[in-house]
Structure 1
Amino acid sequence: MFSKKKKHDNKDTTMQNQDPAAETHAEDQLINDIKDANTVTTEEQEVAEEIVPELTAEEKLQQENAALNDKYLRLFAEFDNYKRRTQKERVELLQTAGKDVIISLLPLLDDFDRANKAMENATDINAIREGVDLVHTKLKNTLAQKGLKEMESMNTPFNTDHHEAITKIPAPNEEMKGKVMDELEKGYTLNDKVIRFAKVVVGS
């Protein structure tokens, strides 16, 4: 009984008296062994380089050429798609350019239809005249909202940028020489750009 207890006490004493420096040395040795296992030697690196040799200058140029060619093909395809898309949009724009104006004129077309029906049995010429004047004014206002303007040509100096001279007649006085004396057809601008020259008679 006493001997067993004594042996157990001796074992505990031995564990308590173990050197801490020895434990630290053992841990350092274990870490170094792990690092050595993961370290690639110079010989192993040379073998790996022999297995995957470096590309020659010609091979590098071929790779660069292939990359540039691929980039060029991609850019060309993108540009071709852009060109086709813009051409399609341009065609659609030309086909629907006057859609807004046509829609704004439809109410005036309705007014003319009603006026035609009213004139079938109308006896008062003044009422018809007033109706026509109202529709005419409405038409001019609608077109003005779209940027259409009449040119003021009468008694203004003849201007080739706005006028087309049909003929010349003697001016009644010196002041009217070179000026518009009569207007045969009105000129119009759309958003300040001439879309029809005024046909005029010029004094000489």
Structure 2
Amino acid sequence: MEEKDMQQNDTQDISMEGMNINADDSIPGTTHLSEEMTEESETEKLRAELQEQKDKYLRLFAEFDNFKRRNAKERIELIQTAGREVITSMLDVLDDADRAEKQIQTSEDVNVVKEGVQLVFNKLRTTLLSKGLKPMESINSDFDVEKHEAITEIPAPTDALKGKVVDEVTKGYYLNDKIIRHAKVVVGK
């Protein structure tokens, strides 16, 4: 019986040692293997995230490229048709000018011709004013390099006209309050 008891004690010692092995953190075991698995799964997770970010980047890049192409196409179309509204409104004036030209060729009365031409000019001015064109008032105003282009300087007839615009060679214009053509002027000195 003593031998049996000794074998039982040895078995208990082995089973106790087995329990101690599993409970002791300093002894390598399954925890080390599970850590490697965690690192491996972390790597796979990072690779998946990287692939997802690459995919998002490629999609965003393609979307931006499409936007640039679409924007360029719209811009070209806008430039090609930008003056369409103004030109369409000018066709009525052109029709009136054609009628006035025919009238000039057949009419002997100069006053009637002058009146017809004046009506065409007035319609032209009215049409352009309705589209935002505004003439620049320069004569007798102070010379301003932002608005005027000095062609020449002449002696001013009076001291009041020194540094002011004496004559206007070419009229300046605003389109919606932005200068589209500077006035070419003569300045008094």
If the TM-score is normalised by the length of the shorter chain, which range does it land in?
0.7 to 0.9
Give the corresponding residue for 1:152. 137
Structure 1 residue 195, shift from structure 2 partner: 0.6
Structure 1 vs Structure 2: percent identity of aligned residues? 59
2:179 corresponds to 1:194? yes
Give the corresponding residue for 2:82. 97
Structure 1 residue 78, shift from structure 2 partner: 1.0
Looking at structure 1, the residues matched to 167 and 63 of structure 2 have their Cα atoms a distance apart, in angstroms, of 58
Give the corresponding residue for 1:175. 160
For the aligned residue pairs, the C-alpha RMSD in angstroms reads: 1.4
2:25 corresponds to 1:68? no
Looking at structure 2, the residues matched to 80 and 183 of structure 1 have their Cα atoms a distance apart, in angstroms, of 50
Aligned positions of 1:27-176 closer than 5 A: 56-176=41-161
Higher Rg: 1
Specify the SS of the correspondent of 2:64: helix
Q: Which blocks of at least 5 consecutive residues in structure 1 are unaligned?
A: 1-52
Looking at structure 2, the residues matched to 162 and 128 of structure 1 have their Cα atoms a distance apart, in angstroms, of 36
| Structure 1 residue identity aligned to 2:170 | E
Looking at structure 2, the residues matched to 122 and 102 of structure 1 have their Cα atoms a distance apart, in angstroms, of 29
Looking at structure 2, the residues matched to 172 and 119 of structure 1 have their Cα atoms a distance apart, in angstroms, of 41
Specify the SS of the correspondent of 1:167: strand
Q: What's the TM-score once normalised by structure 2's chain length?
A: 0.78
| Structure 2 residue identity aligned to 1:129 | K
Q: What's the TM-score once normalised by structure 1's chain length?
A: 0.72
Looking at structure 2, the residues matched to 68 and 91 of structure 1 have their Cα atoms a distance apart, in angstroms, of 34
Looking at structure 2, the residues matched to 95 and 178 of structure 1 have their Cα atoms a distance apart, in angstroms, of 43
| Structure 1 residue identity aligned to 2:119 | L
Looking at structure 2, the residues matched to 142 and 81 of structure 1 have their Cα atoms a distance apart, in angstroms, of 40
Specify the SS of the correspondent of 2:185: strand
